[in-house]
Amino acid sequence: MSTLCVPSQLPSVAQDSEQLHKAFSGWGTNEDLIVSILGHRNASQRKLIREFYAETYGEDLLKALDKELTNDFERVVMLWTLDPYERDAYLANEATKRWTSSNQVLVEIACTRSPKELLLAREAYHARFKRSLEEDVAYHTSGDFRKLLGPLVSSYRYGGDDVNLTLAKAEAKLLHEKICEKSYSCDDIIRILSTRSKAQINATLNQYKNNFGNDINKDLKADPKDEFLAILRATVKCLAYPEKYFEKVIRLAINGRGTDEGALTRVVATRAEVDLKIIKDEYQRRNSVPLDKAIAKDTNGDYEKMLLALIGHEEA
């Protein structure tokens, strides 16, 4: 499911650190060397490189990268080099500070990570920002959005595969009743989406479709311009069909007027070690174009090289 290509014969952490230090030395920066190392190391390997680099050269690797790189290339390398939980904390903090009702990054983090991953991201948020993610979400959002996002980011779901079919049928019926009443922000809808395990939610959504004829997200499209309904649909999609959610984010990032580098960078950096292979397959199925070709057409330079390395493009 990961698209990351790590060499079978790896240099030592000391060698990687020395090469990165050389990439920053002298006139100009050796961007190709940075891509060849960081673009082909997994999270634990990158963490060891950061630690060794700091011990050896007295500087955080992230600070060195920040000084040497610019623009979209800097953004993708910085996000990628972060520990996954630090990265989620950083992205969540950005999303709260710049929050608008159309921003779905908080939903993305809360609903596509495992219970343990979300807990670690919240701990990383404490460590980095000296506040809780929950309090920042509560402070920066309001109304129905706060009512939904607060429980989502503070959730600690059961992560197993056990399913209660009787409960699934009952809650599918309850969801259908509330949606028919247009009670989209009622306590029951938010309780089900923010507390039930992903396996249980999938069972409930299957019961919903079997018993009422539509996917729940079709029934949540009553008003396409309603931004709360949009974030509710994103919640369902992230919980039940994350590969379809991320494919759409990439498609809109590439196919819109101009490239949305922020969204493209975020998805590639956060999913390359998780399920980007599945997302790539979904992208090709949906668009009849390989993702690497779409990225190569829409981006350029060192930014393009780093993205292609992370999505497993053979020549990167």
Q: Write out the binding residues for Ca(2+).
A: 24, 26, 28, 68, 254, 258, 296, 298-299, 304
Binding site residues, as ranges?
A: 24, 26, 28, 68, 254, 258, 296, 298-299, 304
DSSP notation for the chain: -------SSPPPHHHHHHHHHHHHSSSS--HHHHHHHHTT--HHHHHHHHHHHHHHHSS-HHHHHHHH--HHHHHHHHHHHS-HHHHHHHHHHHHHHT--TT--HHHHHHHHS-HHHHHHHHHHHHHHHSS-HHHHHHHH--HHHHHHHHHHHT-----S----HHHHHHHHHHHHHHHHTT-TT-HHHHHHHHHS-HHHHHHHHHHHHHHHSS-HHHHTTSSTT-HHHHHHHHHHHHHH-HHHHHHHHHHHHHHSSS--HHHHHHHHHHHTTTTHHHHHHHHHHHHSS-HHHHHHHH--HHHHHHHHHHTT-TT-
